[in-house]
Amino acid sequence: MEKEIKNSFLDQVYAGQTEWVRYFFGFILILFFWLVLGSVFVLLPIVWVMIDGNPETAVNMETGFFSGVDPIFNYIVLNLSFGLLILGVFVTVRFVHGRPFRSIITPAKQLNWRRIGQGFGVWLLLVTLASAVEYLLTPDIYTFVFNPGRFFIFALAVLLLTPMQTTAEELLFRGYLLQASGHLSRNFWVLALVNGILFMIPHLGNPELAASAILLPLFYLSIGAFFAFITLRDNSAELAIGAHAANNLYSALFANYVNSALQTESIFLVTELNAVYALVSFWVMAIIFYFILLRRRTSPARQTGELIDGGN
């Protein structure tokens, strides 16, 4: 007798093939698309730099960054691999598990773009306010570096590629991996913690960790855990997709960190990363975000494919 497929986010896995060997193969396939095929977008420019013969251009083989080239080149190269990550998740969900690609975002019949927009708008407001407070407390770490000619050229690439990067991460972590872990537990807190740890691991190589080898990993774990929790609570990854895009777009365009993994032409440059403030302000923002968009929800379920707003 087939298991009844309920209209909830975690139960979407039962719409397809759920054998453990498929998850093992699917995860390997996703990594192959992301890290192997995606590396082609890094290797080809490396070859180009090597045959260029310009003594001012060089390649850092550990980070993949290029010196002696326009920073926008680095930004585009390092973001293109996320397009392969999206493709890898799509191929895995559709052909390895045999279920709709939309099901790793929502159990509804179509995406709720309003919910994505709510997540984006509220988080953008909160991260802007948090940055403003930090500026008032420590204005010396903010340097005004706005260069209109450079900024608007870079902004075009950022607006195109950053949402792709953040959506790719959400599809993998808050979509595929979170639903897969639902086979092991249905406790939201356990699932959120596990998802936060999984999200933290690939970020451990980021240069930002030089600011704090303890608090910055906790910061990344917190981001992953919170986005997983609101996904489970909202019965959809739409809020997380919007919030993640807003977070990274703000950093890329308005207040980037001098040692960020992704260098951009921002309006301000943060010369010192305050790990304590980053962690504390994140949780303040997370609590406010939750109370604005999720506190009044009466049920995490969806009925007839429509989102229950619960008064929101």
SS3 134: helix
Neighbour tally for 143: CB within 10 Å: 11
Eight-state DSSP code of residue 195: H
Q: Which residues sit opposite 270 in a β-bridge?
A: 142, 257
Domain boundaries, the chain: 10-305
Spatial distance between the Cα atoms of 132 and 112, rounded to a whole number of angstroms: 31
Confidence (pLDDT) at 69: 57
Confidence (pLDDT) at 244: 98
Among candidate residues 173, 166, 218, 203, the one with its CA nearest the CA of residue 191? 173
Spatial distance between the Cα atoms of 166 and 243, rounded to a whole number of angstroms: 9
Type of residue found at 85: L
DSSP characters for 55-120? TT-EE-TTT--EESS-HHHHHHHHHHHHHHHHHHHHHIIIIIS-S-GGGGT-SSSS--HHHHHHHH
Q: Kindly provide the b/e burial profile for residues 106-132, where b requires at least 16 CB atoms within 10 angstroms of the residue's own CB.
A: bbbeeebeebbebbbebbbebbeebbe
Confidence (pLDDT) at 7: 81
Query: What are phi and psi for residue 251, nearest 5 degrees?
Result: -60, -40
pTM of the model: 0.88
Q: Can you tell me which residue has the tokens 């080149």?
A: 73
Confidence (pLDDT) at 81: 86
DSSP characters for 157-181? HHHHHHHHHHHHHHIIIIIIIHHHH
Spatial distance between the Cα atoms of 260 and 284, rounded to a whole number of angstroms: 23
Confidence (pLDDT) at 114: 97
Helix (H) or strand (E) run with residue 240 in it: helix 238-253
Nearest-10 crossing angle of helices 148-170, 238-253? 150
Alpha-carbon distance values, 21 to 52, 93, 95, 96 (Å): 45, 14, 14, 10
Residues 75, 77, 80, 81, Cα dihedral to 10°: -110
Residue-level pLDDT, tens digit, the chain, 312 residues: 334 446 899 999 988 899 999 999 999 999 999 989 887 766 666 566 555 555 444 445 444 455 555 678 778 888 888 999 999 999 999 999 999 999 999 999 999 999 999 999 999 999 999 999 999 999 999 999 999 989 999 999 999 999 999 999 999 999 999 999 999 999 999 999 999 999 999 999 888 888 899 999 999 999 999 999 999 999 999 999 999 999 999 999 999 998 887 788 999 999 999 999 999 999 999 999 999 999 876 544 443 333 333 333
Confidence (pLDDT) at 53: 52
